[in-house]
Structure 1
Amino acid sequence: MAPEKSGICPAFIDSYSDCARCDVRYFYYSYIKAFTEMDEVKQRVQLEAVVIGLSLTVMLLMSLFLLSLCGISNPVWFGYGHLVGYCWLFYFIGWFVSRKKYGV
């Protein structure tokens, strides 16, 4: 489809994506800078939270894939579109578990 016929201004799309990329870059930069200023225990808590969140996300992905193979998945509750929200949820679960473990 040609940009003239779509009704969406291509300049707006380009400027929005550039703005989103700048926000993501700033987030990564500030997160890495904050991570380097943490003490060793807080770095360990963050690392363990990411590892727990990643492993729970991989388990969810495998379960979603296997359920979709069987044809019994419900995309309204556990769809691939909700995966980012579940990633954040799993990260915070890992963060609470590791904070309790290290007593921070």
Structure 2
Amino acid sequence: MDLEFVPGWGSITISKTNDSVETMIKETSGLDKKEEIIFDGKSAFKLSGSSGIASSVQFINIVTDHQNITYIISLTSQDDQLFPVFTSEFDQILSTFKFVGQNN
């Protein structure tokens, strides 16, 4: 899923993996804030931070029945004023996610 914003340039990219990538993401993306959350009734945590010039990454790891489901939400923009928009969109996107069964 990609979302485009105007004015300026920006996008949100969401990817999903079953691999445990928390350490790699922490080391390479500059994520330094960790928050324990409950998402759709599941135990989860959110990492947030920024890396490089005008870029930000949000990382969600959701644990369900010993299965790690990882969502990496990359927020990228050349316009610093878009970051409040990204944060709002990020929360709205996550609020629409629903998990049905162990494999979704």
Q: Considering the TM-score relative to the shorter chain, is it more than 0.5?
A: no
The TM-score range, normalised by the shorter chain, is under 0.3
TM (norm. structure 1) is 0.28
Higher relative contact order, structure no. (Cα contacts within 8 Å, ≥ 6 residues apart): 1
TM (norm. structure 2) is 0.28
